[in-house]
Copies of this chain bind each other. A is one copy, B any other.
Amino acid sequence: FQTGENAIWCYHFYTKWVTKFPMYLFLVLDMALALVESPAIPGMEWPFWASMLVEFLCLVAFAGRLVHLSMFTERRMFWRDGKNICVVVAIIVTAIDMVVYLVLTEGHWNIRWSRVLRPVFAINFSESRQLRRAFCNIRRTLLGIISVFILFLFSIATFSLLALKLFGNQHLTTYHGSPYFDNYLNALFDLYVLVTTANSPDVMMPAYNKSSWYSLFFIVYIVVNTYLFMSIFLAVVYNGYRKHLKNEVRTSVFNKRRSMGCAFHALCEPLNEDMVMSQSTWLKLVSVVAPTMSEGHRMLLWQVSDEEHQGYIGKRVFTRLADLLNIEVVEQWRRPHPLEQCAPRAYNSRLSCLVRQAVRHRFFRYVFDVVIFVNAIFIAIDDTVMAIQKAEWVFLVLYLIEILLKLYTYEPRTFFLLSKFWNWFDTIIVVIALIYAIVVHSSSYSTEVLDFLFILRVLRLLRIVDNFYRLRIVIQTLINIAPTMATHAALIMVFYYSFAILGMELFYGKVQFFPTPSTPEEHMCGNPLLVGSEFVQRQYCKNNFNNIVSASVLLIQLTVVNQWHVLASGFVITSDISARLYFIVFHMIVVILLINIFIAFVLEAFILEYTLDRGKTESAIERKIQE
């Protein structure tokens, strides 16, 4: 950091919302350009100068942001930071690529390689710290995994040799007539596909049909490469993940302690040789740091800190403040129901009390669980019968009554607390269903969007789950880990984006989709080379790289792994055998590395959640609340 007044002003301006928000906007805009650039979604294509103008604006914005950053960072530090260098290089490369594109082709569609680099901006600006951390995690995991990976490739290579020797000279054919293990590269590819299990029994059948003993080769291969090696990959990734997590937590705790220590020394006052912080300073500090905190909450925290009621606290206790502030204390007090305030007599009458008691009773909940279940069965049976369409109205009215009764019983502000997820869920679903029902039945207008809204009602069944403690824990954990999961999802998206752009450059137009094919060529995905291939037979024509949306869907299908070799075959047939490399590299990076990191994260999160004991600070607060 530079510490000049000007630099500090720059820094404040840098971190302000007004400069940060446009930055995010430009990042999204830059990525979103893929929707409208040359291999665009049909009907959304912009002229090339428009998209390039937007991209140019984005580049200027990124450069400006970087210059802004350099104004308050020391020059040496600025150039030693990998992420700044990445961004600078990406900007320069993109600019060169744009100029070359304009000069050479004057707008005819041509290759623009630099688009693959766009995620670099998303990762390397300091706004996306979470994403970058996940990225670092990958890099570190890569180091640990590489040796196992070499062993894995070695194993596949050796088995391929064995397969070539065993089956190469037997003149067998696969079920669609192609030769079986005829050369080393094909054997290698077939066995790599077998690791992913995508061609599982098919690759074995010709040999197995010849002799039962040959199945042993494939069984040993699958046990070693699919089960053992894939588990070892997961183990290495998981082990690395835990280690790095521990290191990160340790570093961040250390940094926090040091900062809190600095703050303590700046604010403390002497008392009998010790340095302590008085109650008034502490309360003032807290009210500055957390201005929205209520008086009661603040005093509770003080009492937790100053357990012996001395009126001051030492350094050790003070450093716990940051943790204390992070703990959510739900402030609850019995607010009177608005109806009680308006008409206390009626609300507190005997009938009203009976109703409220009934609603609070657990049988009320059970009854509506049964109602939801019956509703689900009605939906499953049939919805063309008139009687069942009528029944839907009954259910809707029942749900409405339920919500009204609950609102009558519970205080509305408590009922709609942000933490009461299921109440929100219930209400929103019922309101949407109500609007839907009114719209559909007041007019005969029915669209797919409304159909989609209609089936959302089925989701209401999820509420039954909420009644079982153990199931609720699982859902609660899922909700808790959602933010970190989103980071991992964003990371996978970044890779998808690069691979999609790369695929679009490589395979644009090789395979085409015709919603209602008429000519024979249209039946073959618009490419005569594909005649009779499994790709066409299985109607995979829409899985192509002709725009960013189909490319993304295709990449998701490749991530799911099954049939990936068939999907790959479509592009291998229409271009070149080296196209296999693209699909193999995608599998290695996304499935073996990223999905394993995702699984490792879910694993760790769930195990933590299952075994978590309540932290010391948290239980200290609970003890105080008990008092």
User: Measuring CB to CB, which residues of chain A are less than 8 angstroms from any residue of chain B?
Assistant: 147-148, 150-151, 154, 158, 161-162, 164-166, 175, 184, 197-202, 204-206, 208-209, 211-213, 215, 219, 222, 226-228, 231-232, 234-236, 238-239, 242, 376, 379-380, 383, 448, 451-452, 454-455, 458-459, 461-462, 464-465, 468, 470-471, 474-475, 478, 513, 515, 537-543, 549-550, 553, 556-557, 560-563, 567, 595, 598-599, 602-603, 605-607, 610-611
Contacts and interface: CB of A to CB of B under 8 A. Distances in A.
A606 B380 contact: no
B606 A567 contact: no
Contacts of A200: 557, 560-563
Contacts of A515: 209
A519 to B, nearest CB: 18
Nearest to A210: B515
A602 B458 contact: no
A175 B543 contact: no
Contacts of A199: 562
24 contacts: A154-B464, A158-B462, A161-B380, A162-B455, A162-B458, A164-B379, A165-B451, A165-B458, A175-B539, A197-B562, A200-B557, A200-B562, A201-B538, A201-B540, A201-B562, A209-B539, A226-B560, A231-B602, A232-B602, A235-B602, A235-B610, A236-B606, A239-B606, A239-B610
B376 A202 contact: no
Given A147-B468, A158-B458, A199-B562, 10 more contacts: A161-B458, A165-B455, A175-B539, A201-B562, A204-B557, A208-B542, A209-B542, A211-B448, A235-B602, A239-B610
A238 B605 CA distance: 12
Contacts of A599: 227, 231, 234
Closest A-B pairs by Cβ, 3 of them = A200-B562, A235-B606, A147-B470
A166 B449 CA distance: 11
Nearest to A461: B158
Given A228-B602, A235-B606, A603-B235, A538 B205 contact: yes
Nearest to A196: B562
Contacts of A211: 448
